[in-house]
Structure 1
Amino acid sequence: MSPYSGTYGALLLGALFASGFSGIVAIQSLLYFKLYPKDKKSLQALVLVVWLFDVTHTTLVWAAMWDYMVENLGEDSYEDHIPGTIAFSVVLTAALTFLTHCFFAHRIYRLSRGNWYLTVPVLILALGRLASASVSGGEMIKLKSYEMFRAQFRWLFSMGLALSSGADVLITVLLFVLLRQTKAGSLTLGHIIDACILYTFETGSLTSVATVVSMICWITLDNSLIFLGLHFIIGKLYANSLLASLNTRKHLRRSRATVTAVDLMNMPHLSTLPRDFQNSKERADIRGVQVNVIKSVQYDVDVEK
C-alpha cells in the first residue's frame, strides 16, 4: 500500500466526493430560485449565502490539494503541514453547519408555536459548534502542524464534531415529536406528515453519521488524514439538507391541496349525520377543522411565511 494512501489519497477522494456534492448544491440552488421566485428576500439571501459558502469551500479544498499534490508532492515532511486553505475550509464547514442548524431551529420554533425552551438548546449547540471550529481553524493557522494540533487541541476539534452531531440528534428528535403531535391532530394529512417525518430522519441521520465517523477517524487514526477527507463532505451534506428541505415544499403543497373540505364531508362517519346537522353551523365548524389541519402542516412546509 502506498504510504500516501491514508493522507493524500484520503484527501483526494474527499475532494472528489465533495466536488460532486457541491454540484448538487449548485443544482438545488438554481432549482430553488426557479421554483420560489416570490419567497421572502431573507430566505433567498440565506440560499445565496449557502451557495457562495459552498463554492468558496470547494475552491479552498482544491487549492489545498494543489498545494499538497503539485507544489509539494514528494516532500514527506509536508504531510504534517496544515495549509491556510485547510484551516479556512474547516471554518466554512462550521459556518454551513451553523446556518443549517439555525434553519431547522427556526422550523422547530414555528412547529412548537414559539416554544423557546425547545429552540434555545439547539441554538446553544449550534453556537458551540461554530465557536469550536473557529478556534480550531485559528489554531491550525498558527501551529501549521497536524501533530502539534492533535497534541494540543484534539479535545477542541472533537468537541466541535460532537456538538454538531448532538445538534443533529436533538433536531431530529424534536421534529419527530412535533410532527407526530401534528399528525395526531389531523384527519387526512397523515401521509404528508409521514413524508416529513421520513425526510427528517434521513437528513438528520446522514449528517450525524458523517460527523461521527469523521470524529472517530480523528480520534483513533493519529497518522491519517481520513478524518479530513470526510470533513470535506460534511459541509456539503448540511447545505444539501437545507436546500432539499426548501425545494420539497412545492410537492408537499400539491399533496396538501388535494385535501379539501369536500373530502372531509365525504368521510364515512360524517356522511351518516342528519341532514339538518350537515346544514347547520356545526358543518361550518367541521370545515374549520380542515383549515386548522392545513395550518398545522403549514408550519413545516411554508417556512418562509
Structure 2
Amino acid sequence: MSFSADSLPPIPDDIAKLIGPPLIGAVLHLVLFGVLSTQVYLYFLVFPSDAMPIRLLVFGIYILEVTQSLFLIHDMFHIFASGFGNLLIFDQVGTRWFSVPVLTSIVAFVAQTFYAYRLRIIAQSKILASVILLLAFVQLCGGLVIAVQFKNAVLVTQFLGKKVYGTTGIWNGASAACDVLIAVAMTVYLKRRDTGVKQTTVLLRQIIRLTIETGLITAAVAILNLVLAVLPNQPNYYMASAIVLGKLYSNSTLALLNNRLKTRSGSHVVNSTLGNNISLRTDQNSSGIPRDSSWNVHEYDGRGHSRNEYEMSRGTVASAQEHVTFPPSGESWTAKDIQSVEDGIEDKPFRRL
C-alpha cells in the first residue's frame, strides 16, 4: 500500500513511546536468538547419543524460533525501513498476530510439556504432571485466542481493551503459574534425591539453581507482559516483553539440557539400594567429553565379593550417583544412562559375561 506525503499523519511528540518498545523487543529477541543458536549447536555437538525424541524436540523448538525470528525481521524491516516515518504502517498488525502470540504460546507449551515429562520421571506422580500439562494447555489456548483477537483488530491501536484483558490474563497468568509450579516441584523432588554424597549434592544444586532461575525469569516476564498490557492509556510497552517471551522459554529448555555438560567425568560409582555397587568407566577425549565406550560392570554382594560381571553396550555416562536395584538371579535387567541426576530417558541394556 502506498501513501502520499500529504496523507501521512504527523509524527507525535511521544514517538519514542510508540516505536521504542517494539524496537527494544526486537533487539533483545535477536540477541536471545543468537544465544539459542549457540546452545543448539553445542547440544548436537556434545550429546549425539541422546534419545531421538529429545533430539527432535530440540530441532522442533529451533525451527519454531527460526520461523518467529524471520517473521519478526520482516515486520521490523517493514516498519523501520520500507515504511519509515509512516505511522499508518506501524499501526498495522501485519503478521505480528502469528509471530508473537501463536509461536510464543506454542514454544511455551512445548517447553512446559517437556518439564512435565521430566517431573513425571523424577516425582513418579501422574497428578503433578497432569496439572502442569493442564496449565500449559490453558496458556496455549489463551495465546491462540489472543492471536485471533489481534488479527481481527487489524490495527494495533484497536487491539487493547477490556475484552482482551481477560484473555491476556488467562494466557500470561496460566503461563506464570505453570512456570512457578515447575520451579517449586523440581526443587522439592530433586532435593529428595540427595544421597548426601558431595558430588551428587553439587550436581543437584546446579540443576535446582538453574531450574529456579529459568522458571522465575519466564514467570516474571509473563506477569510483566500482563501488567504492561493493562496499563492506563494503552501504551505499547507490552510489545517488548511479548516479543522476547518465546525466546526465554526455548533458551531455558536448552540450558537445562546443556547443563549436563558440567557433569561429565571419567568414572563413578553407583550405589544400589541393596548395598551392592557397580563401577562404570568411560574414556574421554582431550576436551574432557566422554567418547562412546563399553562399560564393564561388577555386581558385589555387599561384603566386597564380586558375584557377576556385565558389559554394557556403547554409550556415554556422566558423573553422578543413582540407586540401582538388581533383579533376582537369572533375570535380565537394565541400568539408566544418567547423564544428569534427574535423567532417566534412556535405558541401556547390560549383557552378563
When normalised by structure 2's length, the TM-score is: 0.73
Residue 29 (structure 1) aligned with residue 40 (structure 2): yes
**2:311 aligned with 1:301, yes or no?**
no
Deviating more after overlay: 8-17 vs 86-95: 86-95
1:119 to 124, 129, 140: 129
Bigger proportion of residues as helix? 1
CA shift at 1:93, angstroms?
Answer: 0.7
1:303 CA drift (Å): 4.1
CA separation in 2, counterparts of 1:283 and 1:211?
Answer: 55
Inter-CA distance 54–282: structure 2 relative to 1 (3 Å threshold): same
User: Are 2:208 and 1:177 aligned?
Assistant: no
CA contact (8 A) 1:90 1:137 kept: yes
**One-letter amino acid matched to 1:156:** T
Alignment of 1:208-247 (within 5 A): 208-247=219-258
* 1:140 aligned onto 2:150: yes
Q: 1:144 to 1:107 in 2, by over 3 A?
A: same
Deviation track 1:161-191 (CA, whole Å, cap 9, x = no partner) reads 11111110000011011011111x4544211
The amino acid that maps onto 2:245 is I
Tell me if the contact between 1:100 and 1:242 (Cα under 8 Å) persists in the aligned partners.
yes
Contact in 2 for aligned 1:94/1:129 (Cα 8 Å): yes
Are the counterparts in 2 of residues 7 and 79 from structure 1 also a CA contact under 8 Å? no
| Bigger mean CA deviation after superposition, 91-100 or 133-142 | 133-142
- Deviation digits for residues 37-82 of structure 1 (CA, Å, limit 9, x no counterpart): 1212211111111111111111111212122223433334455432
2:323 corresponds to which letter in structure 1? N
Change beyond 3 A, Cα 1:224–1:26: same
Distance 1:304 1:150, change over 3 A: farther
What SS does the aligned partner of 1:129 have? helix
Instruction: Indicate the larger mover: 118-127 or 35-44.
Output: 35-44
SS at match of 1:228: helix
**Unpaired stretches in structure 1, ≥5 consecutive residues:** 266-279
- Distance change >3 Å, CA 291–CA 234, structure 1 → 2: closer
Q: Deviations over 1:278-305 (max 9, x none)?
A: xx944469xxxx6518979955135455
Gaps of 5+ in 2: 1-11, 277-299, 306-320, 325-334, 348-353
- The answer to whether residue 37 in structure 2 is matched with residue 6 in structure 1 is no
Kept in 1, the 8 Å contact 2:179–2:219? The answer is yes
Judged with a 3 Å threshold, the aligned counterparts in structure 2 of structure 1 residues 304 and 50 are, in CA distance, closer, same or farther, namely farther
Distance 1:182 1:53, change over 3 A: same
- Within 5 A, what are the aligned runs for 1:61-72? 61-72=72-83
CA contact (8 A) 1:87 1:140 kept: no
SS of 1:211's equivalent? helix
Partner-residue secondary structure (3-state), 1:300: coil
Q: How far apart, in 2, do the equivalents of 1:225 and 1:247 lie?
A: 35
Q: Are 2:162 and 1:164 equivalent residues in the alignment?
A: no
More strand by share: 2
Which residue number corresponds to residue 149 of structure 1?
A: 159
Match of 1:7, SS state, is helix
Larger relative contact order (C-alpha < 8 A, sep ≥ 6)?
Answer: 1
- Picking from 323, 339, 342, the partner of 1:292 is 323
Give me the whole-angstrom Cα distance separating, in 2, the residues matched to 1:119 and 1:260. 28
Partner of 1:97: 108
What is the alpha-carbon distance in structure 2 between the residues aligned to residue 2 and residue 214 of structure 1? 25
Q: In the TM superposition, what whole-angstrom CA distance separates every residue of 1:181-228 from its partner, at most 9, and x where no partner exists?
A: 111x45442111111111111111111111111211111154322211
Paired positions, count: 282
Q: Percent identity?
A: 23
Distance in 2 separating the partners of 1:85 and 1:18: 14
2:139 aligns with one of 100, 124, 129: 129
Q: Which residue of 1 aligns with 2:99?
A: 88
Bigger Cα Rg: 2
Rounded Cα–Cα distance in structure 2 between residues aligned with 1:12 and 1:140: 19
> What one-letter code is carried by the residue in structure 1 that aligns with 2:36?
V
What is the distance in 2 between the residues matched to 1:46 and 1:249? 17
How far apart, CA to CA, are the structure 2 residues paired with 1:224 and 1:83?
A: 19
CA distance 1:221–1:5, change in 2 (3 Å): farther
Q: 1:55 aligns with which of 53, 66, 74?
A: 66
1:119-138 per-residue CA deviation (whole Å, 9 max, x = no partner) reads 11100010011111111112
